Amino acid sequence: MQTHSIAVIPGDGVGLEVMPEGRRVLDLIAGRHQAEFHCTEFDWSTEHYFRHGKMMPTDGVEQLRRFDAILLGAVGRPGVPDNVTLNGLLLPIRRAFDQYACVRPAKLYNGVTSPLAGKAGGSIDMVIVRENTEGEYAQAGGFVHRELPSEVAVQTSIFTRRGTERIIRFAFDLARRRGRKRLTSITKSNAQGYSMVLWDDTFAAVAKDYPGIETESLLVDAATLHFVRRPEDFDVVVASNLFGDILSDLSAAITGSLGLAPSANLDPSRKSPSMFEPVHGSAPDIQGKGIVNPLAMILSVAMMLDFLGLEEAGAAVEQAVAGVLEDGETLTPDLGGSAATADVTGAVIAKLTA
């Protein structure tokens, strides 16, 4: 029997609503796949920020270090600047645990309608691999003459050969492991003549080690166009921190809903815990209404199970989600239905126990 310790951070907004649904599925898996999950919940959130002046305790990272994985619901709320929430919790965790590979799958499931005309279920099935610890989100820079008319802000992107090579190599390995035929690199080297030239050079060098994988390099602006024009042509996409962040939201939109978008922040070396979270954020506009889609959280649980070596359980959870979507009977409003959050989870559990 596998035993795993899981740090649970529900966070804010709908994170407090989807996390219990993810744990319902995790509890069921434990009983059916010879696994034990010892979950410890942390109340780190904007409420913690209002009480203590910080999103998590000073030793928060050290508290998390002993766990096998982290489940995060969402963070953020009106009245707290997003840079406070991002730099107070998410980015410190990603950096401290060297979670350099952010993996965001985007699949058009049967039963889900894409906003793009004529796209059938299964026709869009891509994975965005986002560099997660440096690049445009490195937080290198500062202010001069703060809050004066002459104020200057300097924001510097940090691209290293090591950081660029390892995320590109991770993406090639993922493409090979998943039986994918193409890897697309996202660049902007026509305008960013240093960081993205390094990215392009590294991509070309690493590609020589993977002769069986077809490669494509697209400027990020062209990529947004082609995500809409020919999304079925994309298999695995590798991008910098900023570009991957933007494109993964677009990929979620064209596959039906941000409520179906899971993600994994991985330390592939497994020296530190990896973190799994839905992409959708805290969604304060629907908080407390009981209508948030729990499937992104449940699919994030599936990704965690797969990473922890419970591949069969992870596949079973995704198949159950796919079955609920194909049936089309128990869907939340973002997918055109009227079901409550808990009812959708109940439908997933019914599939898992059928």
Active site residue 181: no
Residue of 98, 173, 249, 343 marked active site: 249
Residue of 12, 68, 125, 245 marked active site: 245
Interior angle at CA 341, CA 338 and CA 344, nearest 5: 80
Q: What is the CA radius of gyration of the chain?
A: 20
- DSSP one-letter string for 269-338: T-SS-EEEEESS---TTTTTSS----HHHHHHHHHHHHHTT-HHHHHHHHHHHHHHHHH-SS--GGGT--
Active site residue 194: no
Residue of 188, 235, 267, 334 marked active site: 188
Residue of 49, 107, 137, 267 marked active site: 137
**d(C-alpha 266, C-alpha 68), whole Å:** 12
Q: Where are the alpha helices (DSSP H) in the chain?
A: 15-32, 46-52, 60-64, 82-85, 91-96, 161-177, 195-207, 220-229, 241-254, 295-307, 311-327, 341-353
Helix axes of 15-32 and 341-353: crossing angle, nearest 10 degrees: 10
Q: Which residues pair with 265 in a beta bridge?
A: 102, 275
- The pair of structure tokens assigned to 261 is 């978008």
Active site residue 221: yes
Residue of 27, 82, 221, 233 marked active site: 221
Active site residue 267: no
**d(C-alpha 274, C-alpha 93), whole Å:** 9
Annotated catalytic sites, by residue? 137, 188, 221, 245, 249
